[in-house]
A and B are shown apart, each in its own frame.
Chain A
Amino acid sequence: MSTANTTTKNRHLELIGIGLIALLILVVLPVWLDAFRLNLVGKYLTYAFVAVGLVLCWGYTGILSLGQGIFFGLGGYCMAMFLKLEASSVANTKIQSTPGIPDFMDWNQLTHLPFFWVPFKSLPFALIAVIAVPSLAAFILSYAMFKRRVGGVYFAIITQAFAAVLTILIIGRQGYTGGINGITDLRTMWGWDIRTDGAKEILYFACAFLLIGMMFLARFVLSSKLGRILVAIRDKEDRVRFSGYDVASVKVFIFCLASAIAAVGGAMFTLQVGFMSPSFVGIVPSIEMVIFCAVGGRQSVVGAVVGTLLVNYAKTSFSESFPELWLFAMGGLFIAVVLAFPRGIAGLFTDQVVPLFMKWKSARDGATPDATPAPAE
């Protein structure tokens, strides 16, 4: 079987996979689950955005980022800042010393809105910022690194450091950011109450459609010429550079794209969960997001989404059934996955299930010309 043939086959598989995911999250889950569980799935789906981004930059380009929480968090914070300002109207905050500013600023003796909060009174600005701020951060970080040809483990460490720095900054400047409590008690978006069950359902579908859109975007990038350059960079970066490609720019682009996708997830998270806190920005959540992607299979967009859903489902159900032991169960699950199928669930599928299916199919195709197939014994 030629390689080209396999690639087309895999592409078809991937399309079927996306179709199945769409069926699952748009039809099956909404019908099957109650409002509370559906909202939980909505939360998991926001992590899947990060995993899709990681497939692009880690699975295909070989850039391991242990700081995707930065971009998820920045996107979430941009959204939260807008929502918080809307919730902090003068009428809602009249018990404060300075009405009209978010409650945590008042607790920290701030008497006016800091300048960088002011533009977030506008929803269009906030929506642009959700993409622009994390992309800019990703650009600065990756441009500085990749232009100097810093890559691999060093880059992973630097993203981690950056995540730690940002967390400390947010916690330390609590008057401006809400500190360790985060930005809580978000209520409405342009007067639309986001806390009702109806609103949660609409946000769930918005999130699901956006995720499917991002999966197609990722597929589009990967199946383009750019996608092949990405794989080439992953496998032999120097050769691509010697062939005349500007490797650094390609890497910067894909890293920014992955970050922007993560940021959209962060904004959807804020909308669905109703708050944002530094616990999504730090090192631990960032690594957790890499694990979601690894469990699903880092070279498959579909696998990453499935992995995210499965791991989070396991996390919730283990912790509900065994509140005292669940962390051990999670640890065991990760070890088992990494030992048994290092390419994740998607790898398990393409390596084991697909060949079996092919064998069965070719056996059947081979058998059809026979008018009377042999008895099954």
Chain B
Amino acid sequence: MPKKPPTDLQSPLRRKLLVGTAAASAAAMMSSPQQAFAQTFPTAKVNTTGLAVTDTEVTVGILHSITGTMAISETGSVEAEKLAISQINESGGILGRKIKFIQEDGASDWPTFAEKAKKLLVENKCASVMGCWTSASRKAVLPVFEQYNGLLYYPTFYEGLEESHNVFYTGQEATQQIIAGLNWVNETKKARSFYLLGSDYIWPRTSNKIARKHIEGHLKGCKVLGEEYFPLGHTQFNSVINKIKLHKPDVIYAIIVGGSNVAFYKQLKAAGIDLSKQTLLTISVTEDEIDGIGGENIAGAFACMKYFQSLDNPANKKFVEAFQKMWGAKTVIGDVTQAAYLGPWLWKFAVEKAGSFDVDKVVAASPGIEFKDAPEGYVRIHKNHHLWSKTLVGKARTDGQFDVVYTTPDLVEPNPFPKGYQ
């Protein structure tokens, strides 16, 4: 039985191919689109470096924590990546090849990430890997990807200060998330004084460093009243809340991560700080975190992200619908989940542009790759391997979703090594 060729002709390559096959007289070539692809793109040609690519299949890796403390955050990314892969397969795969994925568990343990990354590259010869969440896990796998010339799509917003030949960063680096938000709060809320809070590790510290430099150096008449850090998992915020009450900053700037958020927002509320009157801007709370915090505890706070589930555009509506169909109607989709969804697609586009799965060719073809129907809108890969994307500010609602109150007019250029902010 000849397979019915798929009707949707999204990919330019597919169109080119069909023109090619129409011209060719051999009827046999029409028998299966996959076979036809395999002849236009023979495996020997599209894979010269010994990756796991056959005539019908290409293997990729998924490497996230599905056990341990990070599992709660990383599950969304795994789900998004699986959704993207199944959608790509339904629309015909990549160069006529279906994507097969091998999933490994990083177990919230950085050395395990390094071990599994090596396994995916050396043993499974994965053509690309979608994975990692925390900076620590990325730092652990980075030397592995560089040594074996692998390809990693990393979804989380992070501190920047990194640019690797072997990694594409589909989340925002720090300046993309921070500067537009601070400008917005400065202009619309007339904010002049800030109080910076963070969990004690590299991302909040670097982000607050950038925030402080921007507030003190670029915003007129603005100052930082205090800056404090708390160990991961910290749950006692009363003393800092008292300090905030004393200093009365215009803006609380919070980069608290994980479970600590629950305690922080509940204690803020209990201390009588009403977020509808006190401006709070965070870059670490997405819909996923609100699931744990409880919408009523955080309603009124502002978050600066590049994606919110409530985003009103056709691509996002389709994405949310497909996601909830696959993973349950109650699943919420946060910023990182959406960024993880971009990974397989951006890789597909780059492979098709390169006409090859070879890592170096895919990397060379990547700058300038566009994803016009991304749920967050339009994104484009910068030559520094980060994405051009818009920055949004959302206001938390009691139902755990955000109302988008501000969108930057243009795409924000990623700048992982910002001059003057280091």
Interface set, chain B 224-238, CB cutoff 8 A to A: 231-232
Interface set, chain B 111-137, CB cutoff 8 A to A: 111-112, 114-116, 118-119, 122-123, 135-136
Q: Is B119 touching A184 in the complex (CB atoms < 8 A)? A: no
Judge if A279 is at the interface, Cβ distance under 8 Å. yes
Contact partners of A255 in chain B: CB under 8 A: none
Interface set, chain B 139-163, CB cutoff 8 A to A: 139-140, 142-143, 147, 159, 161
Q: Which of A57-65, A139-147, A167-175, A296-304 contacts B (4 or more CB under 8 A)?
A: A167-175
Q: Which of A206-214, A219-227, A269-277 contacts B (4 or more CB under 8 A)?
A: A269-277
Q: Which of B81-89, B199-207, B381-389 contacts A (4 or more CB under 8 A)?
A: B199-207
Name the residue in B104, B139, B422 with the highest tally of chain A Cβ atoms < 10 Å from its Cβ.
B139
Q: Is B111 touching A277 in the complex (CB atoms < 8 A)? A: yes
Contact partners of A319 in chain B: CB under 8 A: 104-105, 107, 112, 116
Name the one of B105, B115, B147 contacting A324, with C-beta atoms under 8 angstroms: B105
Name the residue in A97, A179, A180 with the highest tally of chain B Cβ atoms < 10 Å from its Cβ.
A180
Interface set, chain B 217-249, CB cutoff 8 A to A: 231-232
Q: Is A107 touching B206 in the complex (CB atoms < 8 A)? A: yes
Interface string of A69-103 (1 = CB under 8 A from B): 00000000000000000000000000101000001
Instruction: Report the Cα distance A244→B104, complex, angstroms.
Output: 57
Contact partners of B147 in chain A: CB under 8 A: 195
Instruction: Report the Cα distance A29→B209, complex, angstroms.
Output: 50
Interface string of B59-74 (1 = CB under 8 A from A): 0000000110000000
Judge if B109 is at the interface, Cβ distance under 8 Å. yes
Chain B: minimal CB distance from A169 (Å): 11
Contact partners of B116 in chain A: CB under 8 A: 319
Chain A: interface residue count, which band? 35 or more
Q: Chain B residue with minimal CB distance to A96? A: B422
Contact partners of B184 in chain A: CB under 8 A: none
Q: Is B115 touching A40 in the complex (CB atoms < 8 A)? A: yes
Chain B: minimal CB distance from A283 (Å): 14
Judge if B417 is at the interface, Cβ distance under 8 Å. yes
Q: Chain A residue with minimal CB distance to B138? A: A181
Q: Is A277 touching B140 in the complex (CB atoms < 8 A)? A: yes
Instruction: Report the Cα distance A184→B159, complex, angstroms.
Output: 16
Main secondary structure on A side of the interface with B = helix
Name the one of B105, B159, B206 contacting A326, with C-beta atoms under 8 angstroms: B105
Contact partners of B142 in chain A: CB under 8 A: 184-185
Judge if B110 is at the interface, Cβ distance under 8 Å. yes
Name the one of B66, B103, B136 contacting A277, with C-beta atoms under 8 angstroms: B136
Q: Is A323 touching B417 in the complex (CB atoms < 8 A)? A: no
Instruction: Report the Cα distance A179→B122, complex, angstroms.
Output: 29
Name the one of A36, A40, A180, A275 contacting B201, with C-beta atoms under 8 angstroms: A180
Chain B: interface residue count, which band? 35 or more
Interface string of A105-140 (1 = CB under 8 A from B): 001110000000000000000000000000000000
Name the residue in B103, B122, B136 with the highest tally of chain A Cβ atoms < 10 Å from its Cβ.
B136
Name the one of A174, A274, A280, A316 contacting B202, with C-beta atoms under 8 angstroms: A174
Q: Is A184 touching B140 in the complex (CB atoms < 8 A)? A: yes
Q: Chain B residue with minimal CB distance to A183? A: B139
Q: Chain B residue with minimal CB distance to A195? A: B147
Q: Is A279 touching B109 in the complex (CB atoms < 8 A)? A: yes
Chain B: minimal CB distance from A100 (Å): 16
Name the one of B67, B139, B161, B206 contacting A184, with C-beta atoms under 8 angstroms: B139
Given contacts A104-B202, A107-B206, A279-B109, contact A182 B104 (CB under 8 A): no
Q: Is B231 touching A168 in the complex (CB atoms < 8 A)? A: yes
Contact partners of B107 in chain A: CB under 8 A: 319, 327
Q: Chain B residue with minimal CB distance to A316? A: B115
Instruction: Report the Cα distance A107→B203, complex, angstroms.
Output: 10
Contact partners of A365 in chain B: CB under 8 A: none
Given contacts A174-B200, A180-B201, A327-B67, contact A185 B110 (CB under 8 A): no
Chain B: minimal CB distance from A172 (Å): 6
Given contacts A43-B115, A323-B104, contact A181 B136 (CB under 8 A): yes
Q: Is A274 touching B105 in the complex (CB atoms < 8 A)? A: no
Q: Is A279 touching B201 in the complex (CB atoms < 8 A)? A: no
Contact partners of B119 in chain A: CB under 8 A: 36, 320
Chain A: minimal CB distance from B342 (Å): 23
Q: Is A107 touching B202 in the complex (CB atoms < 8 A)? A: yes
Instruction: Report the Cα distance A327→B122, complex, angstroms.
Output: 24
Interface string of A180-195 (1 = CB under 8 A from B): 1110111100000001
Contact partners of A97 in chain B: CB under 8 A: 422
Q: Is B105 touching A172 in the complex (CB atoms < 8 A)? A: no
Contact partners of A185 in chain B: CB under 8 A: 139, 142-143
Chain A: minimal CB distance from B385 (Å): 15
Contact partners of A107 in chain B: CB under 8 A: 159, 161, 202, 205-206
Contact partners of A34 in chain B: CB under 8 A: 122-123
Contact partners of A275 in chain B: CB under 8 A: 110-111, 114, 140, 143
Q: Is B143 touching A274 in the complex (CB atoms < 8 A)? A: yes
Instruction: Report the Cα distance A36→B103, complex, angstroms.
Output: 18
Name the one of A104, A180, A316 contacting B232, with C-beta atoms under 8 angstroms: A180
Chain A: minimal CB distance from B88 (Å): 22
Instruction: Report the Cα distance A154→B114, complex, angstroms.
Output: 36
Top 3 nearest A-B pairs (CB, nearest first) are A323-B105, A181-B136, A36-B122
Q: Which residues of A contact B (CB under 8 A)?
A: 34-36, 39-40, 43, 95, 97, 103-104, 107-109, 168, 171-172, 174, 179-182, 184-187, 195, 273-275, 277, 279-280, 316, 319-320, 323-324, 326-327
Query: A174-B200, A324-B66 known; 4 other A-B pairs, CB under 8 Å?
Result: A36-B122, A195-B147, A275-B110, A320-B104
26 contacts between A and B (CB under 8 A): A34-B122, A36-B118, A40-B115, A95-B417, A103-B161, A107-B206, A108-B202, A109-B209, A174-B205, A179-B200, A180-B232, A181-B110, A181-B139, A181-B140, A181-B202, A182-B139, A186-B143, A195-B143, A277-B110, A279-B109, A319-B112, A320-B119, A324-B66, A324-B105, A326-B105, A327-B67
